[in-house]
Amino acid sequence: MARTLALALLCGTAVAFGGPRHTARPRRRTALNGETVRVKFRIYPDGRVEETVSGIRGSDCTKVTEELNEKLGKVTQTKPTEEMFQEKVDVKTEVFDQNFSEW
């Protein structure tokens, strides 16, 4: 029964990530203010799925994985990465152009 459920979850996951492919090159997807986000999955023989999110600083990673976790099933453990404790850095650049003339 457990293997059937795990297989059904894997098939459901595979279908969810399937779709038309335009090129063979890997693509990077950006989300959350232009940051490059990567979600890495490790699927164990017993059906457990481990996901690791990288590229997001702060607690916004939970927003990215919220829908995935609902589809995968019960979340048994959550462990923060180093990036979760990093603060977001917003850089704002202003350029002032001053023209001086000499008499």
Question: Does residue 60 fall inside a structural domain?
Answer: yes
Q: Token pair for residue 72?
A: 């995968």
Question: Does residue 96 fall inside a structural domain?
Answer: no
Can you give the pTM of this predicted structure? 0.47
- The pLDDT value given to residue 1: 47
- Is residue 16 classed as helix, strand or coil in its secondary structure? helix
- The pLDDT value given to residue 39: 84
Q: pLDDT averaged over consecutive 10-residue blocks of the chain (103 residues)?
A: 43 41 45 72 89 79 82 82 72 78 71
Range of the domain at 74: 2-14+36-85
For residues 51 and 21, the answer to whether their CB atoms sit within 8 Å is no
Question: Does residue 76 fall inside a structural domain?
Answer: yes
Query: What total of structural domains would you count in the chain?
Result: 1
- The pLDDT value given to residue 17: 44
